[in-house]
Amino acid sequence: MATLSAIHVYPVKSCAGQSLESATVQPRGLEHDRRWMLVDPDGKFITARQEPRLLQAYAVPTDEGLTLDAPGMPTLAVAAPQTGATLTVKVWKDHVDALAADAAADDWFSRYLGRPVRLVHMGEDVTRRNGSSRAQPGDEVSFADSMPLLLVSLGSLDALNRRLDHPVPMGRFRPNLVVDGVDAHAEDTWKQVTIGDVVFDVAKPCTRCVLVTIDADTGQRDEGGEPLRTLTRYRRTDDGVAFGQLLIPRSGGSVRLGDDVMVRTQG
């Protein structure tokens, strides 16, 4: 029996994740997942691809907003902006309206990264349309790269680690949902998945980049380019190196650790 074995959210895009026992599923993804993001002075999104130290910065959601922590930095409480300056920010090809966090948050991240950045928030009244060909009218997404959620099976990670001299943790791949009890890459064949009472369409494979070569504990890239180098040998597709599947919620509700995972493999 396939079960849900881990749940993760990443409150600030590209910062450290938070493991949960349960999470509310919303149209744009799990509650609190990637609702905040860093941008440069021109409004372009910043990720750990350019700033690996972001992976060591922790943002914990609170009733008021976030609590920030990072190596060498003081703890900072940040309130979610309700009104104030609206910025048009860019995530890949999308332009999205966002609310600016207060100056203290900008200064905190700017000092941590050693460059001027701004922290922005996606309010509930902002809609970023999911422009994928796999999406339906009305589908939306957070500040995630392209889709609301990412699912990876433990079997897929195990198959990769058997090929590596130095195994890597699941955190390298930043999934929202981890499934146990299925064969390696079984998720490649899924069309729809039901976790607990929540239904998701399986939209497309997640193609991988240099981000998976960065050790979140140290912020250092693997000198040999692993595990991307090994994945390239057996997981290359026409669209790129695939690992895990991207999901679009088709119903609301909550998911919990231990939930049964039911799959449909026919279109």
Task: Tell which residue, 229, 194, 174, 123, has the closest CA to residue 15.
Answer: 174
* Bond preceding residue 227 cis, omega within 30 of 0: yes
The residue to which tokens 């999470």 are assigned: 23
How far apart are the C-alpha atoms of 191 and 200, rounded to whole Å?
Answer: 9
How far apart are the C-alpha atoms of 12 and 41, rounded to whole Å?
Answer: 18
The residue to which tokens 């309206």 are assigned: 97
Name the 3-class secondary structure at 110.
Answer: helix
Q: pTM for the whole thing?
A: 0.96
Share of the chain above pLDDT 70, in %: 100
pLDDT, one tens digit for every residue, the chain (267 residues): 899 999 999 999 999 999 999 999 999 999 999 999 999 999 999 999 999 999 999 999 999 999 999 999 999 999 999 887 789 999 999 999 999 999 999 999 999 999 999 999 999 888 899 988 889 999 999 999 999 999 999 999 999 999 999 999 999 999 999 999 999 999 999 999 999 999 999 999 999 999 999 999 999 999 999 999 999 999 999 999 999 999 999 999 999 999 999 999 976
The type of residue at 47 is T
Do the Cβ atoms of 94 and 128 come closer than 8 Å?
yes
DSSP 8-class letter at 188: G
pLDDT tens column, 235-246: 999 999 999 999
Distance of CA 36 to the CA centre of its chain: 11
Return the pLDDT at 82.
87
Rg over alpha carbons for the chain, rounded to the nearest Å, is 18
How far apart are the C-alpha atoms of 159 and 57, rounded to whole Å?
Answer: 30
Beta pairing class for 76-79 and 29-30: unpaired
The Cα-based distances of 71 to 62, 111, 158, 184 in angstroms read: 20, 12, 31, 36
Phi and psi at 211, nearest 5°, equal -55, -35
pLDDT tens column, 49-102: 999 999 999 999 999 999 999 999 999 999 999 887 789 999 999 999 999 999
